[in-house]
Amino acid sequence: MRVMAINSTGLQPGQGAGGEHNCSLAPLPSDVAKALSSVSLRCVECSALYPGIEAGRSPRYRCDCGGVLDVEMAFRIPGHSSPEAQDLEASGDGPTTGGLSHDNMPSAGASLRQLFDERAANPPIWPISTDKLLLDCSGVWRYRELILPAPERYVVTRPEGNTGLYPVGVENCGGGRAGHRQIGAFAGLELFFIKHEGENPSGSFKDRGMTVGTTMALMLGAKAVACASTGNTSASLASYAAQAGMRGIVFLPAGNVAGGKLAQSLAYGAQIVQIEGDFDDAMRLVEQVCNEQGIYLLNSLNPFRVEGQKAIGFEILQQLDWQAPDWLVLPAGNLGNTSAIGKAFRQAYELSLVDQLPRIASIQAAGANPFYRSFKQGFAQRESVYAETVATAIKIGDPVSYTRARRVIEESDGVVEEVSDAEILEAKVVIDRAGIGCEPASAATLAGVRKLVARGVIKRDECVVGVLTGNLLKDSKTGIPQEVGESVVAATIEAVRSALAR
């Protein structure tokens, strides 16, 4: 494996945002300009602050120093009159954040819990003449005060979210779910939940960020959107771009995308550019071409995508009746999701939605483990590797959201673990046989939980939520028996009886 140390932005000098080929934006509609006036972007490296959108400049994805940007906004809490709550400055990931504040916001937390619970309690009703989807039905826009103040007419939603949270621990899985208990037994946990983000409309958690990213694209008047992807982001982008009537362009590492994901992008009508290189090459190129041609970039480098993925965290907390778990465990590749869920938990804690900050464990494939390598050195140095793993979704050697995710691990007293391909495939069989199923990268979660429990990092009686990020059908080959020859029998009752007796 090739390993190299690089600077903390992951960019070579002079590779920052901007450039002479950027097209200027047309003036924004007044409702968009007003909505975005409460949004700022803060560099996670140098803390420079930029407006959410800059007049006459195409969208900014990086600071002038090359650092990645994080959304900061003034939260508006409906029905809450105290000035602090009305204009609470959400702390970003910037170093200026300081310590976590929690005790000054108890009434904001109660107001928000009530608001979100009322929205979740209403059944979806679609007036026949409606020209819009009701935002409360989306597991992202239900939390819109904490996500993006988008005027309703721009929101592009399927709707997404509302994914299952399965109790699978030895103790909490319940009598009628002996199959699910196998997952808890494998992990060695009494109180264990599986959050299945593969139940989103396009089959992965990416839809949570994509609904917000595509909404931003529409607000900004973009005609085309693009991303680099190991497959799920591209499937999601293709779906949402098609819904919004935009041109979707996806950059894929040639030969390294699972069949189901490729089929989705093709079927939804995106333009596919297969790069003769790896994901990291595709990422570098898509960023460059988007900046050159004014195409709206929808990788998690886009800070608004991260805001949407925060909803995974909010929804888990709501499903647990606002009791924070002890641990949240998830697979990690480009580190957007670690950043997003960590940010959601921090904001939920600061707003007193919950009283405890869960610890976060990011799990990497051993062959694609730059974040793990940095963690092992106390984050002394940002690492990059040439990635190789059977879990193609997380086959990423130079993660874009390194700094954001590092903050999440440090702030939450979290950990980063690595698991081998054999461990990933072993865990996948357990999840599949329990009748839940997932794609290979998602199984890194269970493999990681099992390892952390065995090492005593996670205690057997702690409450753990593990995220499954993608649907089983995304990859029908890896880790699934392909031989069905023996199961073919003659169409007679005798042949069937003898097959069942085997």
**Residues within the interface to ligand F0G (CB under 6 A):** 204, 206, 229-233, 300, 331-338, 393-394, 439, 441-442, 469-470
Nearest residue (CB) to ligand F0G, 111 versus 256: 256
Measured from the CB of residue 443, what is the shortest distance to ligand F0G in angstroms?
10
DSSP string, 310-374: HHHHHHHHHHTTT---SEEEEE-SSSHHHHHHHHHHHHHHHTTS-SS--EEEEEEETTS-HHHHH
Measured from the CB of residue 472, what is the shortest distance to ligand F0G in angstroms?
11
Nearest residue (CB) to ligand F0G, 255 versus 485: 255
Measured from the CB of residue 229, what is the shortest distance to ligand F0G in angstroms?
3
Nearest residue (CB) to ligand F0G, 233 versus 352: 233
**Cross-strand partners of 50:** 41
Contact 304, 149 (CB under 8 A): no
Shortest CA distance to 172 belongs to which of 465, 472, 470?
A: 465
Nearest residue (CB) to ligand F0G, 32 versus 424: 424
Nearest residue (CB) to ligand F0G, 249 versus 351: 249
Cα separation, 142 vs 212, in Å, equals 12
The helices-and-strands tally (H runs, E runs) of the chain is 15, 16
Measured from the CB of residue 436, what is the shortest distance to ligand F0G in angstroms?
14
Measured from the CB of residue 424, what is the shortest distance to ligand F0G in angstroms?
11
Instruction: Give the containing element (helix H, strand E) for 113.
Output: helix 106-121
Nearest residue (CB) to ligand F0G, 219 versus 424: 424
Which one-letter amino acid corresponds to residue 41? L
Measured from the CB of residue 499, what is the shortest distance to ligand F0G in angstroms?
36
Contact 249, 226 (CB under 8 A): yes
Cα separation, 157 vs 167, in Å, equals 28
Listed in sequence order, the residues at least 6 apart from 52 whose beta carbon sits closer than 8 Å to its beta carbon are 36, 37, 38, 39, 40, 41, 71, 73
Nearest residue (CB) to ligand F0G, 9 versus 471: 471
Cα separation, 277 vs 254, in Å, equals 7
Measured from the CB of residue 21, what is the shortest distance to ligand F0G in angstroms?
25
Residue 63 backbone dihedrals phi, psi, to 5 degrees: -70, 165
Nearest residue (CB) to ligand F0G, 109 versus 331: 331
Cα separation, 224 vs 144, in Å, equals 25
Measured from the CB of residue 336, what is the shortest distance to ligand F0G in angstroms?
3
Nearest residue (CB) to ligand F0G, 352 versus 445: 445
Cα separation, 442 vs 434, in Å, equals 15
357 alpha-carbon distance from chain centroid: 19
**Omega prior to 151 cis, within 30 of 0:** no
User: Is beta strand 69-75 parallel, antiparallel or unpaired with respect to 88-89?
Assistant: antiparallel
Listed in sequence order, the residues at least 6 apart from 147 whose beta carbon sits closer than 8 Å to its beta carbon are 140, 141, 212, 307, 308, 310, 311
Nearest residue (CB) to ligand F0G, 137 versus 228: 228
Measured from the CB of residue 280, what is the shortest distance to ligand F0G in angstroms?
11
Measured from the CB of residue 441, what is the shortest distance to ligand F0G in angstroms?
4
- The residue whose two tokens read 């808890």 is 184
